[in-house]
Amino acid sequence: MEDPVIRIPPYHYVHVLDLNSNVTRVEVGPHTYIRQDHERVVFAPRRMVMVPPRHYCVVLNPVARGPTGAVLVDGAGQARLRHADLDVRLAQEPFPLYPGEELQQGVTPLQVVLADTALRIRALLDFEDEDGNKFVAGDEWLFEGPGTYIPRKEVEVAETLQATVIGHNQAIRLRARKECLDRQGTRRVTGEEWLVKRVGAYLPGVYEEVVDVVDAYVLTDKKALHLRAIRTFEDAQGRVRRTGEEWLVTQEQSEAYVPEVFEEVVAEVQVTTLGPRQYCVVLDPVGPNGQPQLGQQRVVKGEKSFFLQPGERLQAGIQDVYVLSEDEGLLLQALQTIKDTNEEGTEVTRRAGDRWLARGPLEYVPPAEVAVLERRRALALADNEGIYVRDIRTGKVRVVTGQTYMLTEAEELWEKELPPGVEALLAEARGGSTGLDAGVPSSSNLDAGVQHRDRTRAVTYQVPHNAAVQVYDYRERRAR
């Protein structure tokens, strides 16, 4: 048989059920309670809930209290409950749990939010806080540290955010999760991206998310950045960039460059350096309007360093300047009508297709309108040596002997064809191994003789002593 005397220690409580009215009430200690016959003690004395400082607990189905804090009861004497409601209780005197109350979350330390940290809070239902701010279910906001977060029954902690540290020559790329105002007060639409370049710790706003940390490209006098716009936008200099437009960023504009969200890095461009004896031909050069001039050319002479703009390319790489000595010349041809200066210093007009010879000594850089056809050298001829020269305009062939001669722009070397028998005779006269077998040269011997003779050289025949040679002039049709 149960002992009717219930001794309740301090800070303990019991629930007593009245079997007649079926109402449960609370008895708290220190107290010695004598149980009546129509009563039953639901459980042995339990310790009250103690919430120390900087802690909290959550009670489900809390009792209703009046303006003075007294517990409200119904007509039967049962404590009135706020069913399905929650009550967040902070540090206070120890308290018992009334019949129907449940401790949904035990005593838990309050969350301390450090500096450069924030909690993203989401409203679970409509409410108005103590400052008169109204919130609608689904609203989100930040609780930024440093501070201690006091939980509420109307909200939940959706996420803990950490600040992103932005170093020198760095930026963070942000994206708006919904339409909002960023920390600079600029309105952003859903999905919009932008950069923050301020050095230090950056805590994203409630509707901002960090996409990436972007490192800057360090530019020098030897390296530039080739960029392309992926959509139309206005850059930091206030210039409107069209979709697909390409441009170059050099050290003069920025020593460390962070590409904007609508800029795409195509490549890192290395500097093109020309020495004092070098030049290059740039195809499709960029004009004053910043657009490539398709089909045009520009000659760049050294000594110089420059960057190729987007769309530009070198025709044949870096070339050496033509340095001509006294016995050298360049055969040139005009690709279009140009103004030029001849050897006497007089200005002349060169029409497209005209040829002329630039004679040394000279340092020559061909302009874009001129093509170099050939580099020629003067031929030194002895008294008994000569060459066949043909005039390409008239077709007339003549022999030049006994002097140092350079072909003009209208002349070319001409090869003289001879019958096989004559070739063999010349080879024998030169002292070669080719000989005549019974007066009939062999094909192998003839081939060997042909290989050794320069056909552009005038034919000379050394007539031995006490010998004679018959020469036939096909124009006059007579022999001598």
Same fold across 1-47 and 110-162 = yes
Query: Is residue 152 over pLDDT 70?
Result: yes
Convert 340-377 to b/e letters by CB count within 10 Å (16 or more is b): beeeeeeeeebeeebebbbbbebebbbebbbeeeeebe
Give me the phi and psi of 330, to 5 degrees please.
Answer: -120, 130
Pick the range with the lowest mean pLDDT from 40-44, 81-85, 283-287, 453-457: 453-457
Residue with the bigger pLDDT between 473 and 110: it is 110
Q: What percent of the chain clears pLDDT 70, i.e. is strictly above it?
A: 94
Residues 265-310 have pLDDT tens digits of 999 999 999 999 999 999 999 888 878 888 888 999 988 999 999 9
Contact 61, 101 (CB under 8 A): yes
pLDDT in tens, 91-101: 999 999 999 99
The CATH classification of domain 1-47, taken from the options 2.30.30.570, 1.20.1260.10, 2.20.28.270, 3.40.1160.10? 2.30.30.570
Average pLDDT, the chain: 88
Q: 427 pLDDT exceeds 90?
A: no
Structure tokens at 277: 């004896």
CATH number for the region 110-162 comes to 2.30.30.550
User: Sign of the CA dihedral 161, 162, 166, 170?
Assistant: negative
Q: Where are the domains of the chain?
A: 1-47, 110-162
Residues 187-216: pLDDT tens digits?
999 999 999 999 999 999 999 999 999 999
Burial class (CB in 10 A: 0-12, 13-18, 19+), 19: exposed
What count of other Cβ atoms lies within 10 Å of the Cβ of residue 438?
5
pLDDT grade for 431, boundaries at 50, 70 and 90 = low
